[in-house]
């Protein structure tokens, strides 16, 4: 069951990775992908909620940095 959940999250993350053209949408999609991935990883270690929170923060930061790079603000 855990392998199926992990595969689903990985597929959803890859499908949504190209979404967004604005800073907010890229950070938001990054946060959602990070939260999903963090929840799956957290559930394997026994704390899905904490994993989701950490993943959401990391995903939002990653989405924001990707957006700034695409706009040429970060080399």
- Determine, yes or no, domain membership for 15: yes
pLDDT at 72 over 70: yes
pTM of the model: 0.68
44 vs 11, more confident = 44
CB-CB contact of 5 with 48 (8 Å): no
CB-CB contact of 35 with 61 (8 Å): no
Number of domains in the chain: 1
- The kind and range of the H/E element at 11 are helix 2-16
- Determine, yes or no, domain membership for 75: no
What separation in angstroms does the CA of 41 have from each of 8, 13, 14, 56? 13, 14, 17, 12
- Determine, yes or no, domain membership for 35: yes
pLDDT at 32 over 60: yes
User: Which of 58, 63, 54, 60 is closest to 17 using CA atoms?
Assistant: 63
Q: What domain range is 16 assigned to?
A: 2-70
């Amino acid at each position: 069951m855990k392998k199926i959940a992990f595969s689903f999250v990985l597929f959803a993350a890859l499908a949504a990775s190209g979404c967004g053209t604005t800073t907010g949408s890229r950070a938001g999609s990054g946060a959602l992908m990070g939260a999903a991935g963090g929840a799956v990883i957290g559930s394997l270690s026994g704390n899905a909620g904490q994993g989701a929170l950490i993943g959401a923060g990391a995903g939002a930061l990653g989405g924001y940095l990707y957006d700034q790079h695409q706009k040429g603000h970060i080399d």
